[in-house]
Structure formats: structure tokens, C-alpha cells
Amino acid sequence: MDRSKDIALLSSWIDGADKITTVSHARPDGDAAGSSAGMLGYLTACRGKDAVALFPDPVPDGTAFVLEGMKSTTNQGEAAARLQSTDLLICLDFNTFSRTEGLEALLREFKGHKVLIDHHEEPDTDAFDLCFSDTRVSSTCELLYGILLGMPDISGDPCRLPMPAARALMTGMTTDTNNFANSVGPGTLSMAGGLLSAGVDREDIIDRLYHSERPNRLAAMGEMLSSRMRLLPEGAAVTILPEAFYQRHSLLDGETEGFVNLPLSIKEVKLSILAREEPGRFRISIRSKRGVSARLLAKGFFHGGGHEQASGGKILIPDDIPDAASAEEYVSTITARFLQEQDAAQNRK
Ligand code: 5GP
Ligand code: MN
């Protein structure tokens, strides 16, 4: 895909802007934090811009290190004031403003140029003035890496990327691929090679991401695997994590990240669905193996969406279920029926 014209346009908008603001999605993951920090690192060090990253919710401790030394906020009032004086808005790792939840109304009102850089299906292109959208890349970080390499001052040489940006991009790509397990293409590995040759310390990133857990997380994982996960004969694993589970293990925000992937290591499990209880709702995470669409399950039944093999959504109380105790039955019934229908459709082909 030739993006050089779009990159030249973005570069000219950057030239013309004093204050640039980025924004990413609610409950930011590593790709959201990494792409925001990658963009900020570039804009400040290479283009001398005043750049601030907005997030609807705090970035979890595990990935917040990429934003060290950068300006970011989750405060609504600060976000509103910042947008008043912003010349250019860059939206990272989401396809529609509704994924920014509490910030949605403010962002929609923003009058300056809005740029989208994202890798989700069905981008709301009408809401943006310029869209970089590619669902084939591993991560928004990979897409942004390609865009930054196309900038006139970087001209294809990853060694010209400022180190905080390079490190952040490697971090976000690593978490979104689940450390090179999913959605890895030739471009992902070229990016990793380019960033390593630029001097990014990958071992340090791995230590920070995967070797810095608290024992609480492992104890919670043990309970999940031994007594929370239910296997359905249709090839699904259903896991409900009630609020009491989070309290029992004193878990912090983001500390059950990745739990939804664990059941996929069982041969017969084609799809894993995990529901986390929050006040008035459950948050749903879905992961699937090739051939089963996590996205259609999230979109069709859980007010959500995402990627083919990784998606999310929610269950609302009382709209969908009368009370929290009904969640397991509800999720199991919907998931079993979904897999039976997918199987039937496959057999008809
Ligand atoms: P996670 O399970 O890590 O929270 O989310 C996995 C993926 O599902 C995200 O990268 C995002 O693409 C998608 N996703 C999660 N929650 C939602 C949601 O509420 N709505 C939509 N449309 N997508 C979601
Ligand atoms: Mn992403």
C-alpha cells in the first residue's frame, strides 16, 4: 500500500501545528500506550512540538513505563482545556470515537484536523479528516512505525527514531502480538529487526512486561485455572471472574490481562471467553483460534467488536441479565449456540 501522499499530508499538518494532542481508547492496553508514546516521542524530539497524550482511563502500571517523561492526562477537565488550544488531533488504536467513552463528546466537537491511525475493522472514516487504517498489521505500533519511517526526517532509517519512541513502538507491538504469538507478518519482523538495529533493549522490555508480576497475579491465575474455567463440549472455555475474586487476591487494574489466552493452550479449546464483573456490568474478553471469529461473537451478542481472533464487549445488568449470578449461564448458552452455528455453517460449505 502506497501511503506516501497521506504521510506527506500528515507531515505538512504537523509542520503547521504548534500543539498536537493524541488520544487512545478506554482501558488502554500496551498498543494504546505504545503508539501514543511512540507518536509523542517523535513529535517532541524530531519536530519540536508541544505534544500531550489523552487517555480515557489510566494506563496500567505494566506498560506505563513507555510514557515516562512525556505529558499525558486522564483528567476530563485537563483534556477539555487541552483540546481548546490543540491544532492537530491524532487518534490511535481505535476505530470509532465511542471507544474513547468519557472523552467521546469532547473529541467529536474538536474543530481542527483529526487523524486516525488504527488497525481495527470497520473504521468510522467519516469522523476523521485523514485515515491510516490497516487491519493486516499486528498492531497500531506497527502501522505507526511504517508512517514514521515515511516521514521526511526519518527517511526509512529506524536509527533516526528517538529512543523513547523506538522503545515504545517495540513494546506495543510485543504486547499486541502476545510476544510474537499472534498476527505476526513479515512487516512485524522487519519492524523488530529495524528497532533492534536502532538499539532498542528488548530484554529490558521483556523484563518490564513479563518478569515484573506480583505473586497475587499467579495465585489468581491458579484459582482461575483450577476452579473458575469451565470447558464446554462445543470447544469453548468460559471463565467468570466475580468482584469477590478481585478482592480475594487484592488485584490491581490490569492484573488479569492475558488470563483469557490461557485456555487456548488446551487442544480442544477453539474459543476462550472471560467475563470480569464490574459494578452494573461484566467486561467481556474473547480470544479464538483460526477459523472461529471472536469478533462476530463480540459484535453479535456482547455490544462489542474487535479483531477476528481477539475481541471484547460487555454484558449489562439488568438489560441483558437480571443479576451477576446469571452471567455464567448466559455466556455459556450464547457461546455454545454460536459455535454450533459456526460448525453448521462450515459443514454446509
Ligand atoms: P481485551 O480483551 O484485551 O480487552 O480486548 C481485545 C480487543 O477487543 C481490543 O483490542 C479491541 O479491539 C476489542 N474490544 C475490547 N472491548 C471492546 C468494546 O467494548 N467494543 C469494541 N468494539 N471492541 C472492543
Ligand atoms: Mn491494538
In terms of domains, do 85 and 233 share one? no
Q: Output the CA 312–ligand 1 centroid distance in Å.
A: 4
User: Which domain range does residue 275 map to?
Assistant: 215-348
CATH number at residue 291: 3.10.310.30
Cell of 123: 473504521
CA 277 to ligand 1 center in whole angstroms: 16
Interval between CA 95 and ligand 2 midpoint (Å): 10
**Around Cβ 327, how many Cβ atoms within 10 Å?**
22
Q: Give the largest Cα separation in the chain, rounded.
A: 59
Domain boundary among 210, 234, 257: 210
Please give the grid coordinates belonging to residue 307.
479483531
H-run or E-run covering 337: helix 327-348
pTM of the model: 0.95
Ligand closest to 93 (CA) is 2
Residue nearest atom 17 in ligand 1 by C-alpha distance: 312
Same domain? 203 vs 224: no
Per-residue model confidence (pLDDT) at position 241: 98
| Same-domain check for residues 303 and 258 | yes
For residue 23, which of 66, 69, 56, 59 has the smallest C-alpha distance?
A: 56
The reply to whether 201 and 249 lie within a common domain is: no
Looking at the structure, tell me whether residues 42 and 120 fall in a common domain. Answer: yes
Same domain as 151, residue 51: yes
Q: Are residues 198 and 224 in the same domain?
A: no
- Confidence band (pLDDT; 50, 70, 90) for 92? very high
Closest CA to 62 of 197, 179, 198: 179
170 pLDDT higher than 80 = yes
Which pLDDT band holds residue 1 (cuts at 50, 70, 90)? Answer: confident
Edge-to-edge, what's the strand order for the sheet holding 88-92? Answer: 71-73, 50-54, 19-23, 88-92, 113-118, 130-133
Q: Looking at the structure, tell me whether residues 82 and 220 fall in a common domain.
A: no
Q: Are residues 155 and 291 in the same domain?
A: no
pLDDT of residue 343: 87
CA of 25 to the centre of ligand 1 (A): 9
Q: Determine the angle formed by the axes of helices 186-197 and 163-176, rounding to 10 degrees.
A: 150
Query: Residues enclosing ligand 1, CB less than 6 A?
Result: 29, 120, 285, 304-307, 310-314
Which residue, 276, 220, 223, is CA-closest to 251? 220
Distance CA 288, CA 224 (A): 18
Residue 152 belongs to a domain with what CATH number?
3.90.1640.10
Q: Whose CA is nearest to atom 6 of ligand 1?
A: 311
Separation between Cα atoms, residue 49 and residue 62, nearest integer Å: 27
Whether residue 145 sits in one domain with residue 239:
no
Q: Does the pLDDT at position 254 exceed 90?
A: no
Count of domains observed in the chain: 2
C-alpha dist (Å) from residue 336 to 13, 123, 290, 342: 49, 29, 17, 10
pLDDT in tens, 304-314: 999 999 999 99
d(CA 35, CA 169): 6
What is the band of 348 on the pLDDT scale with cuts at 50, 70, 90?
A: confident
- Give the pLDDT band of residue 177 (cuts 50, 70, 90): very high
Q: What is the mean pLDDT of the chain?
A: 97
Task: Supply φ then ψ for residue 128, to 5 degrees.
Answer: -125, 155
Q: Is there a contact between 121 and 103 (Cβ–Cβ < 8 Å)? A: no
Q: Which of 311, 314, 316, 320 to mutate to test the pocket of ligand 1 (most atoms within 8 A of CB)?
A: 311
pLDDT of residue 46: 98
Q: Quote the percentage of the chain above a pLDDT of 70.
A: 100
pLDDT class for 25, splitting at 50, 70, 90?
very high
* Strand stretches in 242-335, DSSP E: 271-278, 281-288, 305-306, 310-316
Residues 31 and 144 in one domain: yes
Q: Both 36 and 107 in a single domain?
A: yes
User: How many Cα neighbours within 13 Å face the side chain of 254?
Assistant: 17
- Ligand nearest to C-alpha 92: 2
Q: Is 80 exceeded by the pLDDT of residue 38?
A: yes
